[in-house]
Amino acid sequence: MSSEFNNRPRLRSLVLLGGLFCLALSVSTVLAEENIDAAPIVISQANSTRALTAVSMRQGLNSTTHVFQPGAKTRITVFITNVELLSDEGMTAFRADAEDGRHYRYPLQIISLAPTVERSWVYALTLKLHNGMGDVGDVLLRVNWRGMSSNRVRVAIGHEGDGLKDDEGAQPTPMPDRPPRIEQIDSVGLPFTGDRVRFMEQATFGPNATLENQLRRTSYSTWIFQQMEQKRDANNGLRFSTFPYPNLQLQPVAIPSTCDVICQRDNYSMYPLQNWFFREALYGEDQQLRRRAAWALHQIFVVSGRETVQPSRMLPYLQVLDRHAFGNYRDLLKDITLNPAMGNYLDMAISTRQSPNENYAREILQLFSIGLDMLNPDGTPMLDSQGNRIPTYDQATVNGFTKVFTGWSFCEDTTV
């Protein structure tokens, strides 16, 4: 790889952004196919999503207990199916966890795994409660095997009720009368759980059980289309975030003497935007792909909170990236060029006829668009007859761009 490419991290980020969408497009041919999955199934009672459970007794398993006392000494046996173990595969291939009504998630230690006597295709999985679990009521329990996540079933700890609602689309999974049909699939492109986790790592700000279950029921392409749909707020205006943007007002350039610590935090630091961003990235649902794409664009069209210290002046920059995350690159380049945060950071706002500034002219050529060297269709640099690379622009081009970007300045509000 050429040294020029290695020295251009923002262009490399652009390639990675393109890779995200190439990933989405490359799997789209598979997405229309049936969402085949060999994930384990935790067996529930016949008429509810409450787990079919048992406790160990000397004479065997007792399945009459439905409420389990909290504490690390408590053992719970659940039953799983739809697994086909290898000859040397045992309980170490499984993981289990439970989530309570406060969304605390507890890892559960695997104690034993054994096929049941009457149905060899059903396994009894014995778990040890986490010592941090108190009288939390209903928890949602799931089992993971080979990176594949099961359905979640209800288990009562201390008492029944007061827990999470069932996952969307959850259905009872009663004891099967016959072995499940587990087909051997040769294709590696089908959306198994491992693939879904990888997809979530690339298209969102991290995997979670809710989205994993959603992708299990639908497909990647359906989710992408839902994410890219135009969203509307209560007033029917276009909405580009799950949580509202902070309501920030322009402040005087010089910090007033009456502005205390809280005032400075909220008006002269990136704190309000950082707070909003992490809420959006961690808890937003319907704009995850837009947020991830805008974040990638942020790594290309870089500005700094050190130079633009007011969050009220940085917010319009973030809104430009959000608005154009799925749009036209030409439109994005225009709007980001005329954005005050960019004009401040790359000095376009101070370029005058008497003192022209080449900074933005060079940045838009080298880092935001055509790059340093002419390239072949395969991405390798074009060479002249002497074997030298062919530059995409020269000083005359920079001078011309500098003239174009001279004369723009801030729309000052004299009241602030």
69 lies in the same domain as 146: yes
Q: What is the mean pLDDT of residues 311-325?
A: 96
31 lies in the same domain as 133: no
282: alpha, beta or left? (left if phi > 0; alpha if psi -120 to 50): alpha
Residue 161 has pLDDT above 90, yes or no: no
251 belongs to a structural domain: no
Tokens of 253: 């350039």
131 lies in the same domain as 204: no
Cβ atoms of residues 85 and 93 within 8 Å:
yes
Residue 375 has pLDDT above 50, yes or no: yes
Question: Which residue, 140, 157, 174, sits at the end of a domain?
Answer: 157
Residue 32 has pLDDT above 50, yes or no: no
The pLDDT of residue 61 is 54
Residue 209 has pLDDT above 90, yes or no: no
Q: What is the pTM of this model?
A: 0.60
95 lies in the same domain as 129: yes
8 lies in the same domain as 93: no
Q: Of the candidates 404, 203, 375, 413, which has an alpha carbon nearest to the alpha carbon of residue 293?
A: 203
Residue-wise pLDDT tens digits, 254-274: 999 999 999 999 999 999 999
Domain of 107?
41-157
120 belongs to a structural domain: yes
128 lies in the same domain as 208: no
**Whole-angstrom distance, CA of residue 153 vs CA of residue 44:** 7
Residue 327 has pLDDT above 70, yes or no: yes
In whole angstroms, how large is the CA radius of gyration of the chain?
Answer: 28
Question: Which residue, 157, 178, 201, sits at the end of a domain?
Answer: 157
143 belongs to a structural domain: yes
Give the range among 71-85, 169-183, 280-294, 346-360 with minimum mean pLDDT: 169-183
22 lies in the same domain as 126: no
Number of domains in the chain: 2
315: alpha, beta or left? (left if phi > 0; alpha if psi -120 to 50): alpha
The pLDDT of residue 214 is 80
59 belongs to a structural domain: yes
20 lies in the same domain as 48: no
Q: What is the mean pLDDT of residues 218-238?
A: 89
46 lies in the same domain as 150: yes
136 lies in the same domain as 99: yes
Question: Which residue, 157, 173, 201, sits at the end of a domain?
Answer: 157
CATH of the domain at 110: 2.60.40.10
45 lies in the same domain as 120: yes
Cβ atoms of residues 125 and 117 within 8 Å:
no
50 belongs to a structural domain: yes
357 belongs to a structural domain: no
Residue 10 has pLDDT above 50, yes or no: no
58 belongs to a structural domain: yes
Tokens of 259: 């502005």
Q: Of the candidates 205, 333, 228, which has an alpha carbon nearest to the alpha carbon of residue 277?
A: 205
Higher pLDDT, 402 or 183: 402
**Whole-angstrom distance, CA of residue 404 vs CA of residue 143:** 61
Residue-wise pLDDT tens digits, 51-66: 999 876 544 455 666 8
261 belongs to a structural domain: no
128 lies in the same domain as 218: no
**Whole-angstrom distance, CA of residue 215 vs CA of residue 192:** 10
Q: What SS3 string covers the chain? A: CCHHHHCCHHHHHHHHHHHHHHHHHHCHHHHCCCCCCCCCEECECCCCCEECEEEEECCEEECCCCEECCCCCCEEEEEEECCCCCCCCCHHHEEEEEECCCCCEEEEEEEEEEECCCCCCCEEEEEECCCCCCCCEEEEEEEEECCEECCCEEEEECCCCCCCCCCCCCCCCCCCCCCCCCCCCCCCCCCCHHHHHHHHHHHCCCCCHHHHHHHHHCCHHHHHHHHHCCEECCCCCEECCCCCCCCCCCCCCCCCCCCCHHHHHHHCCCHHHHHHHHHHHHHCCCCHHHHHHHHHHHHHCCCCCCCCCCHHHHHHHHHHHHHCCCCCHHHHHHHHHCCHHHHHHCCHHHCCCCCCCCHHHHHHHHCCCCCCECECCCCCECECCCCCECECCCHHHHHHHHHHCCCCCCCCCCCC
Give how far Cα 78 sits from Cα of 116, 281, 299, 303, 385, Å.
11, 35, 47, 53, 73
The pLDDT of residue 233 is 86
